[in-house]
Amino acid sequence: MAAAVLLAALLFGPWWADSSGTAGAPVYSAASIANSAAAIAGYYAADTFISIYGTNLSTVVRAIGPSDISGGLLPTALGGVHVLINGIPADMWYVSPTLVNALVPSLLAPGAATLQVVSNGLAGPAVPIQLGATAPAFFQIDATTVLATHLDGSLVSPSSPARAGEWIVLWTTGMGPTVPAAIPNQVAQVAAPLASPIQIFLNGAPVSRSNIDYAGAVVGYAGLFQINLLLPDDVASNPEIRVATADQISPPGRFLPVR
């Protein structure tokens, strides 16, 4: 499925990253930690993918693979690296000397927290971060285009745009709790809808909630949410698209290819 391939690229980071590394403790700061989908610092919540940029983060380049997942359980260490948030191990997705991608533990509550990277026994600084109740963000295929798929799994793109009146699937992170709740360190076993309603905006105008067939967890994944959306018959070409939870709205300047 195109979405899965592209999601892997977004989460695992650049395969061509430098793998040399140098001895020493990990170096990073609160300002060098970003929401992986939105590429914005300081925009996190439980069950949100984060990217940590720095140096000495790892001595290897390593992405999560099928052998790292056993019985639906995700690894909390990868290549000798783990990330602690309030002392709780995050699920690990990618490590390299300059980039680590991890999933904020689903059991963490909103509020002040500390994050620390430990690489092969060497601990980096415990830096302060702030967790929101949600941090909704679309995954993207480039700096301004959101990741969406047609119902056949093919990518919505400028060369294969969505059409008015079409059902599409949007892919997000940071959407908040589901029912049933996410089980820590496990991929979703069932299609669990979000606990609270969401709102989609196209060019600033709200789309009827009746146009949303499902919004919730994706079976076989963790931290990934899908939204099944019926595009209105009067949708404009290439609209700005945003998603709002009860307390937060995704960043502006993201567009959906529509013709």
User: Does the pLDDT at position 8 exceed 80?
Assistant: no
Asked if residue 194 has pLDDT above 90, the reply is: yes
Residues 35-58: tens digit of each pLDDT: 999 999 999 999 999 999 999 999
Report the chain's mean pLDDT, rounded to a whole number: 92
Task: Report pLDDT for 26.
Answer: 98
Provide the whole-model pTM.
0.90
> pLDDT per residue over 104-119, tens digit each?
999 999 999 999 999 9
Q: Say if CB 138 and CB 241 are below 8 A apart.
A: yes
The confidence score (pLDDT) of residue 135 equals 98
Mind listing the domains of the chain with CATH numbers?
Answer: 2-132 (2.60.40.10)
Q: Looking at residues 12-39, what average pLDDT do you find?
A: 73
